């Protein structure tokens, strides 16, 4: 019988600014796209954030969506040191204006009819004006008022299409480097008329970069032209020019892996071979800083200057163990098709620094689509990962200390590169390792492999049902495999291996499908909570199955939806939602990722939404979180997306029947600085709470579950308490453990 919970779901959305101190990023700052100077510091723009490098002290600071920016996927940047103002352009066409007074988000960019790309290609600030280059053309932006002025829309369709790659202002004239040449126009009343723009230069393939300071220089793939605006000289012999920068004394030309510095007359003054691919360079006070694609900023000694972080932002699944982190980087389409989205390996944080194994750099591109990576709990130096790719590199791999050790199952490629696709890995509590496989030996077979450590081989168990597979989980001798492929062949496989994974004689299994009260068969994710209930995420909602070990032996076990009352009506929680991930924390609350809908933090039985984080109201990089992990020791929650990893400082740490390290925050509570609830963490699984004033009068009482508690600073009559000191008296469920705390309130 369905249990109806008559509780209205309360969505507590958190703004970026109110919660900024609780967020941090695990972004990559390797791919430096633009470098500018600001007095005693260097400013660098990367894919997902800005960082500041102080040459005098070696200090590095970063600015990202975790602490002030409004988006990710930076495509353009410029900075004016005189006004301390920077402008960031994003791929989605929005802007962030960074000022000493804060960061301001601009979304009302001009859009031409028929324009498909909103990406900001280039930004150049000149005094109080900036010229913004995008797929539609060029716009003049008033920096002080933070608003757009005149816009010139360039053709965007057919053979007449002309993309503006970059533009600068010189002598009240805008020069635009386009896919067809260099165009220019005075900033006057006819500026918006494309027909009035003049052609300064043409070249096959057009020009990609332009800059000006006394002279003007613009770059094609293999050459740079420079001059006073009427006559031009040519620098040639380049392989693939990435950037050109003009200063009052120099021209800096960034080739694909080399930087040349010329005088404004074209005389070569310095050359720097970076030894890897580079994007840009900056030369100031005889010091060269080079923006690389994979190592941050190089100085002339090739010392990498950047915040520590993963090798790249692309991320898919994450493993945590004793303060270490492993991140996979692969991707799947429709839970079936193998992709090579970035051809990356895995990233490893060893507790002090991020490591990208040399093995992945040596093998080269187009050989990796790593869907999962897990460490051996008894020996974290030993790591396994799955590589689902349509080539002989497909299989399970073992690494030792981030050095290649062995590959498994590549011999199965003889059955066809589209079969035997390794997906996810998991260790059970007895250190048994399992891996799920899709399309094993035939196009309509799901399989899992068990690692035989004595023979150093994987042993297969095939099933007649299903074609796909997702990352499994294992507990108490049962393996749970989500099968997502389609509505006929998908479901949830529950396989009881009775803690003897290499002996199949006493095994049993059950497939849960629509016959077991699923709305659809496609199962994407699965989690076991602290009550041993199975939470099943499908493409159209959540189902819960109690006592799964017993259910394996039942003829027709029935999973249940979560029913809540919303506006007086009984409704199914997450109805029709594609559930990408479910994680049950130590307090038995659930983190639920909804494809395109962000992340929900719900109570243990799902009757209340505690938080709902989205890209709009939080620093999440996007609204499709592919993995969630919680460090139970610190309470940190890791949200993994294809655009990078964001970390939220959660309220729940390891929860037991006794108290942990009780922490009250914020404390003191100063109303002018903070208007939210006071949180108390480190509580017992069930805690009786009494809050009194200094005279011992009872102000508030409650029972908290899940290891933490929030107080809205109201007394029992619902009125906010007066300024003063308040005492929190706490006991666990059976009264065997107690804790106390003080809260200072300043209204």
Q: Which of 112-116, 264-268, 572-576 is predicted with the least confidence, judged by mean pLDDT? A: 112-116
* pLDDT score of 9 more than 60: no
Q: What is the mean pLDDT of residues 122-145?
A: 95
User: What is the structure's pLDDT at 487?
Assistant: 64
Rounded distance, CA 369 to CA 328, Å?
Answer: 9
User: What is the structure's pLDDT at 342?
Assistant: 64
**Confidence class for position 442, pLDDT limits 50, 70, 90:** low
- Asked whether 298 and 304 are in contact (CB, 8 A), the reply is yes
Give the list of residues 6+ apart from residue 705 with CB closer than 8 angstroms, or none.
587, 588, 604, 685, 686, 687
Q: Which residue has the higher pLDDT, 334 or 438?
A: 438
**Confidence class for position 300, pLDDT limits 50, 70, 90:** very high
Closest CA to 68 of 619, 650, 649: 619
For residue 670, the Cα-to-chain-centroid distance in whole angstroms is: 33
State pLDDT tens for residues 568-608: 788 999 999 999 999 999 999 999 999 999 999 999 999 88
Mean pLDDT computed over every residue of the chain: 91
Rounded distance, CA 595 to CA 599, Å?
Answer: 9
User: What is the structure's pLDDT at 688?
Assistant: 96
User: What is the structure's pLDDT at 17?
Assistant: 36
State pLDDT tens for residues 711-745: 999 999 999 999 999 999 999 999 999 999 999 99
State pLDDT tens for residues 641-660: 999 999 999 988 888 889 98
Helix (H, G, I), strand (E, B) or coil at 338: strand
**Confidence class for position 12, pLDDT limits 50, 70, 90:** very low
**Confidence class for position 6, pLDDT limits 50, 70, 90:** very low
Q: Which CATH number fits domain 663-746: 3.50.50.60, 2.60.40.4070, 3.20.20.140, 2.50.20.10?
A: 2.60.40.4070
* pLDDT score of 403 more than 70: yes
Q: Got the DSSP string for 630-659? A: E-TTT-EEEEEETTEEEEEE-S-----SS-
Closest CA to 471 of 529, 537, 417, 559: 537
User: What is the structure's pLDDT at 15?
Assistant: 33
* pLDDT score of 8 more than 60: no
State pLDDT tens for residues 311-357: 999 999 999 999 999 999 998 876 655 555 568 999 999 999 999 99
* pLDDT score of 135 more than 50: yes
Q: Which of 18-22, 149-153, 438-442 is predicted with the least confidence, judged by mean pLDDT? A: 18-22
Q: Which residue has the higher pLDDT, 11 or 532?
A: 532
Half-sphere exposure of 50 (CA within 13 A, CB side): 26
Burial class (CB within 10 angstroms; exposed 0-12, middle 13-18, buried 19+) of 655:
buried
User: What is the structure's pLDDT at 16?
Assistant: 34
Task: Classify residue 329 by its DSSP letter.
Answer: -
Half-sphere exposure of 404 (CA within 13 A, CB side): 12
User: What is the structure's pLDDT at 7?
Assistant: 29
Taken in order 158, 164, 170, 171, the sign of the CA dihedral is: positive
| pTM exceeds 0.75, yes or no | yes
Domain ranges of the chain: 564-654, 663-746
Half-sphere exposure of 631 (CA within 13 A, CB side): 17
* pLDDT score of 441 more than 80: no
Q: Got the DSSP string for 542-584? A: EEEESSHHHHTTSSS---B--EEEETTEEEETTTT--EEEEEE
Rounded distance, CA 53 to CA 416, Å?
Answer: 51
């Amino acid at each position: 019988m369905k249990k109806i919970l008559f509780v209205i779901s309360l969505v507590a959305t958190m703004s970026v600014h109110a919660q900024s101190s609780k967020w941090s990023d695990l972004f990559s700052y390797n791919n430096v796209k633009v470098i500018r100077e600001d007095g005693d510091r260097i400013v660098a723009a990367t894919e997902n954030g800005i960082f500041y490098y102080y040459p005098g002290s070696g200090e590095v600071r970063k600015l990202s969506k975790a602490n002030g920016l409004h988006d990710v996927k930076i495509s353009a940047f410029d900075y004016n040191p005189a006004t301390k103002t920077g402008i960031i352009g994003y791929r989605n066409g929005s802007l962030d204006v960074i000022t000493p007074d804060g960061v301001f988000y601009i979304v009302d960019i001009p859009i031409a009819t028929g324009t498909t790309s909103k990406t900001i290609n280039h930004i150049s600030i000149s005094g109080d004006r900036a010229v913004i280059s995008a797929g539609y053309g060029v716009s003049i932006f008033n920096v002080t008022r933070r608003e757009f002025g005149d816009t010139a829309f360039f053709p965007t369709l057919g053979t007449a299409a002309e993309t503006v790659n970059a533009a600068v202002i010189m002598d009240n004239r805008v020069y635009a480097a386009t896919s067809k040449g260099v165009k220019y126009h005075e900033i006057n009343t006819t500026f918006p008329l494309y027909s009035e723009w003049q052609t300064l230069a043409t070249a096959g393939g057009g020009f990609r970069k332009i800059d000006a300071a006394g002279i003007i220089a613009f770059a094609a793939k293999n050459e740079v032209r420079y001059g006073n605006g009427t006559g031009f000289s040519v620098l040639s012999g380049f392989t693939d020019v990435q950037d050109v920068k003009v200063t009052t004394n120099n021209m800096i030309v960034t080739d694909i892996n080399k930087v040349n510095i010329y005088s404004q007359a074209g005389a070569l003054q310095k050359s720097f071979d970076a030894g890897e691919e580079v994007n840009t360079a900056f030369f100031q006070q005889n010091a060269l800083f080079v923006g690389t694609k994979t190592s941050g900023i190089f100085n002339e000694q090739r010392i990498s200057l950047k915040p520590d972080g993963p090798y790249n932002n692309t991320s898919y699944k994450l493993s945590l163990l004793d303060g270490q982190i492993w991140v996979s980087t692969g991707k799947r389409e429709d839970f079936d098709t193998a992709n090579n989205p970035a051809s990356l390996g895995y990233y490893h944080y060893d507790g002090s620094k991020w490591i990208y194994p040399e093995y992945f750099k040596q093998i080269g591109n187009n050989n990796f689509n790593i869907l999962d990576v897990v460490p051996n709990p008894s020996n974290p130096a030993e790591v396994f990962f799955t590589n689902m790719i349509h080539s002989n590199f497909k299989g399970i791999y073992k690494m030792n200390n981030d050095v290649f050790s062995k590959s498994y199952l590549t011999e199965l490629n003889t059955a066809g590169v589209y079969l035997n696709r390794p997906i996810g890995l998991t260790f059970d509590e007895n250190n048994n390792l399992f891996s799920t496989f899709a399309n094993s030996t035939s196009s309509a077979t799901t399989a899992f492999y068990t690692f035989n450590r004595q023979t150093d081989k994987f042993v297969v168990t095939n099933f007649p049902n299903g074609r796909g597979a997702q990352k499994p989980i294992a507990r108490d001798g049962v393996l749970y495999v989500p099968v997502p492929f389609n509505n006929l062949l998908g479901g949830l496989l529950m396989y009881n291996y009775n803690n003897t994974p290499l002996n199949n004689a006493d095994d049993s299994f059950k497939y849960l499908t629509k016959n077991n009260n699923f709305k659809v068969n496609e199962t994407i994710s699965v989690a076991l909570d602290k009550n041993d209930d199975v939470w099943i995420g499908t493409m159209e909602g959540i189902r819960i199955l109690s006592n799964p070990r017993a259910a394996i032996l039942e003829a027709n076990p029935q999973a249940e939806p979560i029913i809540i009352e919303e506006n007086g009506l009984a409704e199914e929680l997450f109805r029709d939602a594609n559930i990408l991930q479910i994680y049950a924390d130590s307090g038995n609350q659930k983190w639920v990722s909804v494809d395109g809908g962000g992340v929900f933090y719900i109570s243990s039985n799902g009757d209340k939404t505690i938080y709902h984080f989205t890209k709009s109201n939080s620093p999440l990089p996007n609204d499709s979180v592919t993995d969630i992990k919680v460090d139970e020791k610190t309470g940190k929650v890791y949200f993994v997306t294809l655009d990078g990893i964001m970390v939220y400082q959660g309220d729940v740490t390891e929860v037991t029947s006794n108290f942990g390290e009780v922490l009250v925050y914020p404390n003191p509570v100063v109303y002018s600085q903070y208007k939210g609830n006071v949180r108390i963490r480190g509580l017992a699984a069930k805690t009786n709470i009494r809050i009194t004033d200094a005279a011992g009068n009872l102000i508030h009482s409650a029972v908290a579950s899940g290891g933490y508690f929030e107080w809205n600073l109201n007394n029992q009559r619902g009125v906010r308490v007066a300024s003063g000191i308040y005492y929190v008296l706490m006991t666990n469920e059976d009264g065997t453990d107690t804790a106390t705390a003080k809260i200072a309130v300043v209204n």
